[in-house]
Each structure stands twice: as C-alpha cells, then as structure tokens.
C-alpha cells in the first residue's frame, strides 16, 4: 500500500464527513432536530462500532483539538457580543457563571453519588464536567429554529455561556487534582481560582486593547493576511495567559468582546471569517466526539445517566438559575426560559477527557455519562425550545440577518460604519419621502433594497414597508435612524 494513502484517505474521509454534516444541519432544521445531534450520529455511524468502522480512541488528541476549538468559539462569541446589550445583564451573567455553576456541580454531584455509587469527590467531578452551558450549542439551535427571545434573555444567555466555561474548567482541573491526590486540602484550590480569573480577566482586557491598536497600525499588504493575524492573536492571548497561570478561555472571550465593540480595519470580513471557522469547528468537534464514543458503553449506563440528565434539566439547572437570579428584577417566565436554554454541548466531553488522561478511577464512567447528558440535552431541550418559548410567551421573530449589500471597510481611525435597517410595516416612515423624515445629516442613506431591486435614493424617494436601507455613519446616529424607523404610525381614531 502506498504510504501516501495514510494521509490521502483521512483527508477524503474528513471532507466527506464535513459535507454530510453540513447537509445534516440543513435537514435537522427542517425536522426540528438540532444539527449537532445529527453530527454526533454521523460520527457514531462512522466510528468503530458503526458501519464505517473507523477506529478512534485518542482522548489526548480530542482534548487538544477541543481546547483549540473552544478558544476560537469563545473568541467568535466575544466578537459577536454587543456590549451595549450585555452591560445591563453583567451582574446576572456573572452570578449564573459562578454561583450557578457551583450549585449545578453540587446538586448533580449528590445525585450522581446516589445513583452511580461513585466516591463523593468523583461525583462532584462529574457534576463539574456537566456544569456549564454550551454557547455554540445554544445559538446554533436558536439559528436553526429562527427563534428570537424577548427582553434581555439572549444577551444574558450569550454572556453566561461565554464566561461560565472558565469556571467549569477550573472546577474540573481542581477536583481532578483533589481526586488524584486525596490529601490535598481544599484551601489550596481557592488561590488557584482567584489567580486564574484575575490574570485571565486582566490580560484579556490588556491584550484586547493592544490588539485593536496593532490591527489598525500594522497595514498589511493583503486583506487575507488579517485573518492570519486574527488567528495568531487568539493563540497569543490564550497561550500567554495560560502560561502565566490565568484562564486562557476567559482571556480570549474578553479579547473578542473588546475587538467586537471597537473600530478596526476589515472588521466585517474578519467577523464573517470567524463565523465560518466556528461552524467548521462545531461540525468537526461533534463528528470527532461521535467517532470517539462507544455506544455499547453508553447504553450500559443509560438508566442512571438518563435520571441524572433529567435531574439536571428539571431540577439542578432551574434551582441554579432561580437562586443565582434571586435578586434580579427579571420576570419569572424569563428566568424559566433561561433555565430551559441550558444546553450541554461539546464542552462536557472535552472536560471529561481531563480525568481520563489522569487515569482516575471512575473516569470512563464520567465520560460516558457526560456524553449521554449532552445527547439527551440536545434532543430534549434543543427540540423543544420553540415550544417552551411560546408557552412562556417570550418568543419573537428573529431579527433579519444583515446581508450587507454594499461592502465597507472601516479604517479604524474613525467610528463610521455601514449598517442595514429594515422598515417594518407598522413604521411611521412608510409612504413618506426621505427629505421629510429629518434623519440626521451625518447618517447617509446609500442604497435601498426593495423587491429584489436596488435603488440609489435621493430626497424625494418614498420609503415602503420591507425596504432594506443601507446607512453610512457613526453609531450614535444609527440609533436615531433606528428609533425613527421603529416608531409606529398613529392609528386612526
């Protein structure tokens, strides 16, 4: 056999699996099943116990790929975070990401001890593995189902899922050390947590601000090189922070938030590129996890794992949310929706590899139960999100995706940008000329997309319902235009 086949065949198989995975994502949206579940199924069918028969049991490689993937997913989540929307839910998000994760760890740990007869520390380790929500799982499902959420629910979920992973990582690493070295006192873990969070937060802010300045001043000869630079920034922020004893995941998320809310060159193209990279990483991770799992081992633990999963969904997560948000003025039905959108994704499986690689007693049980919890969470919570949102009356139409008919590259030296605003049917501007609307002169309407055609407007152009308006200007004037367009017309008496 030609030695080149050893690399040619994996390349071919990987490409075929990715293409099948993307088609499955589209099919999943139509069937009401999260695409991530189908990625897992495809991986399992291709695995050693499926028709594909691909042998794969490399937990170390899975952990390495998972850490890299999670770093980029968190960075992309930061780029997409609107700080203006997130700031009002900052305290609530931090409470969910810390107290909520701790409560989930404790509650799931107690039930795991009772059902699986694991030692207490090992049971709490299992609780820590499944304690955090998964940002990529939550928002890929929301996008597939075209589901919008009222109020501050979405920014709260977005922020929580971005900052609770570092907390879960810390708990897993700390508890793994305690299980491996039973004589280690709990008090030694607390300074580790403070050091990771403080260093991670400080370096995230510092390196994020430096990254904005560097990107705007480096003046690379090709736009494509900025994507390479962005990848290098993620690696630099994560690696430097981790080596200095901080949380690299927290640092890359904060760096992404700072970049996403700053003006820098090629911002739009970089965000689109990272969005595509995130899709690739999500598909790749779930296919890899499907290859890694042995269905026969998971099925052997199906009954206790199902009970733990149901307890997590219906008891532990709601208790953690309601206790963490006890002082919040948030409506009860909004809190209930936050509790239900607690999807578990690839993160628990990545975290489950830490005790496995340490060869801890019960680590294989932790891995198999974590996989079962992830699968049932996606199937039960993922498929019922629209129903629960309607039941709680917190659903709303998903905001139309900005298609950006024109391309505009900010220089980073000014705050000007190009945005798209859609004119709703109930708007007071419908049927009126642009010149009569008193839009701020600093917000220039460049193009209108209407009925498949493009119109270059002037003052006498009459706006119609459904018009997609491209506006060039700075953020403060965008808000004035949006508020004017969103204003409803007076109803006849």
Per-residue pLDDT of the chain (493 residues), as tens digits, is 455 556 777 788 778 877 876 776 666 655 556 677 777 888 888 877 778 777 888 888 888 988 998 899 889 988 988 888 888 999 999 999 999 999 999 999 999 999 999 999 999 999 999 998 876 676 666 666 666 778 888 889 888 888 888 889 889 988 998 898 887 777 777 888 889 999 999 999 999 999 999 998 898 888 889 999 999 999 999 999 999 999 999 999 999 999 998 888 888 788 889 988 888 888 888 888 888 888 888 888 999 999 999 999 999 999 999 999 999 989 999 999 999 988 888 788 889 989 988 889 999 999 999 999 988 998 898 888 888 988 998 887 655 454 555 555 555 555 666 778 888 888 888 888 888 888 887 778 888 888 778 888 888 888 888 888 888 877 667 777 878 887 877 655 4
Domains of the chain: 5-182+277-397 (1.20.1530.20), 417-486 (3.30.70.1450)
Closest of 298, 301, 316, 220 to residue 40, by C-alpha: 298
| CA distances from residue 192 to 121, 134, 177, 199, 245 in whole angstroms, order as listed | 18, 24, 12, 11, 8
Residue 328, Ramachandran bin (φ over 0: left; ψ between -120 and 50: alpha; else beta): beta
- At 208, list the tokens: 């994020």
**Reported pTM:** 0.79
Would you state the pLDDT for residue 115? Answer: 96
Would you state the pLDDT for residue 190? Answer: 81
3-state secondary structure 344-394: CCHHHHHHHHHHHHCCCCCHHHHHHHHHHHHHHHHHHHHHHHHHHHHHCCC
413: enclosing H helix or E strand: none
Cβ 263 vs Cβ 410: under 8 Å = yes
Would you state the pLDDT for residue 319? Answer: 97
DSSP secondary structure code for residue 416 in this structure: -
- At 88, list the tokens: 């009002």
Cβ 268 vs Cβ 259: under 8 Å = no
Is residue 398 classed as helix, strand or coil in its secondary structure? coil
Would you state the pLDDT for residue 213? Answer: 93
């Amino acid at each position: 056999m030609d030695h080149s086949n050893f690399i040619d065949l994996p390349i071919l198989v990987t490409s075929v699996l990715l293409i099948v995975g993307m088609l499955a994502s589209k099919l999943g949206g139509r069937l009401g099943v999260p695409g991530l579940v189908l990625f897992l199924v495809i991986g399992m069918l291709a695995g050693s116990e499926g028709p594909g028969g691909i042998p794969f049991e490399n937990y170390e490689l899975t952990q390495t790929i998972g850490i890299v993937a999670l770093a980029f997913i968190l960075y992309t989540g930061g780029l997409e975070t609107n700080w203006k929307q997130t700031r009002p839910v900052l305290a609530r998000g931090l409470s969910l990401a810390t107290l909520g994760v701790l409560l989930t760890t404790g509650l799931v740990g107690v039930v795991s001890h009772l059902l699986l007869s694991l030692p207490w520390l090992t049971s709490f380790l299992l609780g820590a593995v499944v304690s955090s929500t998964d940002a990529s799982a939550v928002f890929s499902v929301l996008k597939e189902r075209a589901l919008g959420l009222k109020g501050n629910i979405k920014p709260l979920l977005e922020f929580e899922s971005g900052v609770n992973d570092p907390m879960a990582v810390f708990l897993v690493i700390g508890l793994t050390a305690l299980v491996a070295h039973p004589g280690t006192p709990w008090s030694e873990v607390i300074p580790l947590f403070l050091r990771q969070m403080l260093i991670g937060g400080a370096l995230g802010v510092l390196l994020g601000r430096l990254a904005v300045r560097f990107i705007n001043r480096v003046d690379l000869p090709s736009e494509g090189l900025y994507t390479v630079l962005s990848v290098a920034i993620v690696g630099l922020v994560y690696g430097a922070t981790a080596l200095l004893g901080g949380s690299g995941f927290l640092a890359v998320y904060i760096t992404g938030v700072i970049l996403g809310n700053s003006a820098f060159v090629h911002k739009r193209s970089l965000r689109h590129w990272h969005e595509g990279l995130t899709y690739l990483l999500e598909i790749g991770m779930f296919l890899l996890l499907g290859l890694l799992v042995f269905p026969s081992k998971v099925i052997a633990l199906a009954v206790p794992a199902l009970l733990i999963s149901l307890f997590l969904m219906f008891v532990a997560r709601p208790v953690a949310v309601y206790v963490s948000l006890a002082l919040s003025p948030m409506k009860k039905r909004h809190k209930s929706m936050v509790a239900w959108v607690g999807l578990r994704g690839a993160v628990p499986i990545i975290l489950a590899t830490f005790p496995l690689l340490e060869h801890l007693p019960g680590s294989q049980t932790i891995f198999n139960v974590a996989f079962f919890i992830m699968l049932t969470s996606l199937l039960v919570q993922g498929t019922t999100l629209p129903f629960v949102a309607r039941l709680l009356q917190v659903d709303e139409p998903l905001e139309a995706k900005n298609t950006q008919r024109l391309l505009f590259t900010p220089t980073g030296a000014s705050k000007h940008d190009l945005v798209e605003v859609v004119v709703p049917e109930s708007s007071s501007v419908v049927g009126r000329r642009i010149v009569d609307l008193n839009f701020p002169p600093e917000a220039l309407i460049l193009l209108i997309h209407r009925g498949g055609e493009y119109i270059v407007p002037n003052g006498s152009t009459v706006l119609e319902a459904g018009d997609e308006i491209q506006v060039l200007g700075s953020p403060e004037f965008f808000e004035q235009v949006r508020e004017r367009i969103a204003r409803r017309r007076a109803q006849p008496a």
